Structure 1
Amino acid sequence: MSDTPHPRDSQNLIGHAQAEKDFLDAWNSGRLAHAWLLTGPKGIGKATLAYRIARFVLAGGGDGGLFGGPPESLDIGAHHPVVHQVSAQGHRDLKVVERGYTDDKKTKLRGEIVIDDVRKIGDLFHQTADAGWRLVLIDAADEMNRNAANAVLKILEEPPAKALVIMVSHSPGRLLPTIRSRCRRLALNPLSADTIGQLLAQHRPDLTDTELTALAHLGEGSLGKAVALAAEGGLDLYRDLIGLLSALPRLDVPALHAFAERVGKSDADSAWRTVTELTTWWLARLVRAGGRQGKGMSEVVPGEAALMGRLLAAASLDRWLDLWEKTGALFARTDAVNLDRKQALLTAFLALERLSRA
């Protein structure tokens, strides 16, 4: 089994040729925007592209294209000194802004990027660059609190010469409109299920073709999500989830209690997070299938299409939409105020049972 490399260590970017071309075109035009916003779902390669851009810029644009023409790729070669400096987090002209730690032992990350995390940008932009460019990478920009965002905005309003800010954003709507307006946007699209399956096979050669296909669909265009689900036993949990739902309109109550007990334990954070995310995701799929009147209904595991068809026939789409929203709110409230996890799962599944009997 191999681990997924950190984006700063990854040399390969698959499925985002257009985004890379758009940056290269801007670079070759000589009119490079001073701030770039890389958007798209989490886990599809935005940070990998950000580091790829950083290495390229810090290397002065690589070695050029064929016959000394403009560069045709962001790749600068695995043996370039910049590659090793960035990987070792030792390049003095690159500052990476991420959530800091809450303690000196670095055991727990903060929930947001605070102003102390972004002050390092000012330090960088007041020094002379070694390679001509000074570069800031913010991952992820939507995690900045208001004070941190305002500090970054001031930098974007009066950027120094040869300074580049690259921001990764999973939810650009959460950013200040004034930040978005000062950035050139690169929108990355979700990866295809086939691409995710191929990449996942490289990370998890122990998985069968059936498991790879199922995880690729569960990943929803995100390799990061598919890898995380594989590591956390997400496919087995999903099968358990569908197994319980398949008994509707009359749940197997003892099996439900056993499942909720296992997932809701205080030391089962990963299983709780995975199951609640998969449950709300499955309900969203149910609603989308209802909106399409069952057309193109796909299955991750056998029997899902029949289950969805049965549930959609039992109650109106509006009522399933309402249940999806309430279930998501219930799980969020459970996390926010530390409610009983087992009880929250029981409440959600029993609400499903009642609606399936409507």
Structure 2
Amino acid sequence: MDTLPPPEEASDFLASPRTLLQVEQFLGRGAMEGGFVLAGADGAGKATLAFLLAATVLSGGKKLGDVDPKVRSMIAAGAHPDLTVMRRQENEKTGKLRQEIDVDQARKVISKLHQTSASGRSVVIVDLADELNRNAANSLLKVLEEPPKGAVLFLLSRSPSRLLPTLTSRCRKIALGAVEEDALANWLAQRTGSSVDDARTLARDAEGAPGRALRLALGEGQEAASVADSFLRAVEGKQDLLAASRKFAGKGQELIAEEARGIVLARLRRRLTEDGIENSERGRRIEAYDQARALFSYIGTADPAQTALVAGLRIRDVMAGKTTHVR
């Protein structure tokens, strides 16, 4: 495998036992109706779970993955009449994705939900609910208050606390937390053919998110890990920091750089929880992480190589005991 399959076609799903128990309880009670917020970090498996739940519900299954092959094939082809997916659409004028999911999309979904379905069930996946504009969110609110019989809406969110409280209050929540390191490493090794030790490193860099770990193991993810490695070695004085920072820039490098920044932050976070370090050292590590997180948040409005260079210098200064502030 050298590419990440889209969630519509994913053949397996990995989650923590707590998440799986919660899902099975909803399915077992026949309670998979109304609104659900599927909450988790990037790569936690929100979309994969949503499509697997959609296939299960539309197949009349009582357990996750109890799916009619025909239903799975139709969903993978984007051809199931009772499944609607809401995502940001392309702006016809610019050819780029719009910044938000707008109210027109929401109204079309609402209209479809009130039509007779072929299976007796209707499923809507909002990917991501974080990208709903206020008018679209308010439109969906009306459906969540009184959902049509047999309808279920899965709202995917990386930051559920930022969604409209009136929206989340009418939904049940399924949280996709971090998968335990050994379980994720073994799963990843089987999927990619990598060694368990290499898979364990990827699991740590992905902070327990299966999709992100798989992404790091494939194609551009490997290049992102290399960029992060070079940067952190340069911060420690083992490589040239300017050269390492330049790897965060370049045309077509945006996704690689974004992934690399995530790996850097994940590794800095891990250092905060190491045993046997003094309070003064832990304090420096916390400040180093805070400096990096604050500076990396400026990406999009600043030169990525320059930002990486400043972040590296600040981290180095903090770890050396020098006081510095983000400006």
TM-score over 0.5 for the alignment?
yes
d(CA) in 2 for partners of 1:56, 1:257: 51
- Are the equivalent residues in 2 in contact too, given 1:3–1:203 (CA < 8 A)? no
Match for 1:235 among 225, 249, 268? 225
Match for 1:225 among 184, 187, 212? 212
Aligned to 1:3: 3
d(CA) in 1 for partners of 2:254, 2:172: 38
Which residue identity is paired with 2:318?
L
CA deviation map 1:163-198 (0-9, x unaligned): 111112221111111111111112222112222222
CA deviation map 1:50-101 (0-9, x unaligned): 1122112212x23xxxxxxxx4x22234x53211111111111111111212
d(CA) in 1 for partners of 2:248, 2:133: 32
- Are the equivalent residues in 1 in contact too, given 2:231–2:241 (CA < 8 A)? no
d(CA) in 1 for partners of 2:202, 2:295: 26
Aligned to 2:324: none
Structure 1 segment 126-165 matched on structure 2, within 5 A: 126-165=114-153
- Are the equivalent residues in 1 in contact too, given 2:189–2:199 (CA < 8 A)? yes
d(CA) in 1 for partners of 2:158, 2:251: 29
d(CA) in 2 for partners of 1:26, 1:272: 39
- Are the equivalent residues in 2 in contact too, given 1:137–1:167 (CA < 8 A)? yes
Aligned to 1:275: 260
d(CA) in 1 for partners of 2:29, 2:305: 58
Which residue identity is paired with 1:141?
A
Which residue identity is paired with 2:244?
F
Which residue identity is paired with 1:348?
A
Which residue identity is paired with 2:164?
L
Structure 1 segment 20-99 matched on structure 2, within 5 A: 20-59=20-59, 61-62=60-61, 71=62, 73-77=63-67, 80-99=69-88
Aligned to 1:330: 295
- Are the equivalent residues in 2 in contact too, given 1:141–1:168 (CA < 8 A)? yes
Aligned to 1:299: none
d(CA) in 1 for partners of 2:30, 2:270: 45
Check 1:197–1:261 CA distance in 2 against 1; reply closer, same or farther (3 A cut).
same
Which residue identity is paired with 2:22?
D
d(CA) in 1 for partners of 2:275, 2:297: 31
CA deviation map 1:27-59 (0-9, x unaligned): 443555411112222222222221122112212
Check 1:281–1:80 CA distance in 2 against 1; reply closer, same or farther (3 A cut).
closer
Aligned to 1:12: 12
d(CA) in 2 for partners of 1:282, 1:54: 35
Aligned to 1:340: 303
Aligned to 1:352: 315
Check 1:116–1:199 CA distance in 2 against 1; reply closer, same or farther (3 A cut).
farther
Matched, 1:212 2:212: no
d(CA) in 2 for partners of 1:89, 1:267: 29
Shift in Å, 1:128:
0.7
Higher radius of gyration, 1 or 2:
1
Shift in Å, 1:318:
4.7
- Aligned pair count reads 318
- Are the equivalent residues in 2 in contact too, given 1:214–1:235 (CA < 8 A)? no
- Are the equivalent residues in 1 in contact too, given 2:284–2:319 (CA < 8 A)? no
User: Which TM-score applies when normalising by structure 1?
Assistant: 0.79
Check 1:263–1:13 CA distance in 2 against 1; reply closer, same or farther (3 A cut).
closer
- Are the equivalent residues in 1 in contact too, given 2:248–2:305 (CA < 8 A)? yes
Which residue identity is paired with 1:201?
A
d(CA) in 2 for partners of 1:221, 1:123: 39
Matched, 1:110 2:98: yes
d(CA) in 2 for partners of 1:165, 1:138: 8
d(CA) in 2 for partners of 1:3, 1:103: 28
Identity across matched positions, percent: 31
Structure 1, unaligned runs of 5 or more: 63-70, 297-308
d(CA) in 2 for partners of 1:28, 1:268: 45
User: Which TM-score applies when normalising by structure 2?
Assistant: 0.86
SS of residue paired to 1:167: strand
